[in-house]
Amino acid sequence: MCGRFSLDVELGTLQEAFQFEFSGELQPRYNIAPSQNVLAITADGGRRTGNLFRWGLVPPWSKDLKIGYKMINARSETAAEKPSFKRPFQSKRCLIPASGYFEWKREGKEKRPFRFIMKDEEPFVLAGLYEKWEQEEEAVYTCTILTTSPNSLQGAIHDRMPVILNEEGMEAWLDKESRMDELKSLCRPFPAREMRMYEVSQKVNSAKNETAEILSPLNSQ
């Protein structure tokens, strides 16, 4: 599962890394939580565009947005067959940039939070799906993050991890002509040797805490 992540990178740096257009402003985010807006990159005719989508996919047939809280993640192994994810897996795929994500290790009654980042501390992208939900005059775009089995680093903390795409994978994920078997092959554990993790303060447990301090290693002061 991926239930929190951060994106504290300047917009220009993200645009240079992932080659997309975006007309709005982007503030540093240290503790992004479900139901909040996230940056998502889509492609149309080879042109990549940045959008703000609500995190938690809502199928078009849903009566309200509440179902999105249960759909912040989609298991990559079954998403192509599930009613809620089948259509977006086929034609509505997106990239969700991140600078790191959080996961919790359960020890008895306690849950210790850890942050996962790239070894070079560069931003990366998660594989996502999106949908358009409409009711009367209201239209909301929502998204979900795909998960897969863990690599050796993640496996010490949790039994799932988000699907992280390399540069070649990004291109194929956004390509509307990609075959289903090719897309499924992208949903694999990211190499542990290219990542690192560290424990952080339990301040991250509350979505109300949104300061850079959250990203600091525990007891680093």
Q: What is the pLDDT of residues 99-134, one digit of tens each?
A: 999 999 998 888 999 999 999 999 999 999 999 999
Q: What is the pLDDT of residues 22-79, one digit of tens each?
A: 998 999 999 999 999 999 999 988 899 999 999 999 999 999 899 999 999 999 999 9
pTM: 0.96
Residue in 2, 94, 143, 187 annotated catalytic: 2
* pLDDT (0 to 100) of residue 207: 94
User: What average pLDDT does the segment 83-97 reach?
Assistant: 96
**Residue 85 pLDDT greater than 60, yes or no:** yes
Catalytic-residue membership of 103? yes
* pLDDT (0 to 100) of residue 51: 96
**Residue 221 pLDDT greater than 70, yes or no:** no
Report all structural domains of the chain as residue ranges with CATH numbers, in order of start. Answer: 4-215 (3.90.1680.10)
**Residue 1 pLDDT greater than 90, yes or no:** no
What does the mean pLDDT of the chain come to? 95
Q: What is the pLDDT of residues 167-185, one digit of tens each?
A: 999 999 999 999 999 999 9
Residue in 94, 103, 187, 210 annotated catalytic: 103
Distance (Å, whole) CA 150 – CA 189: 6
Catalytic-residue membership of 143? no
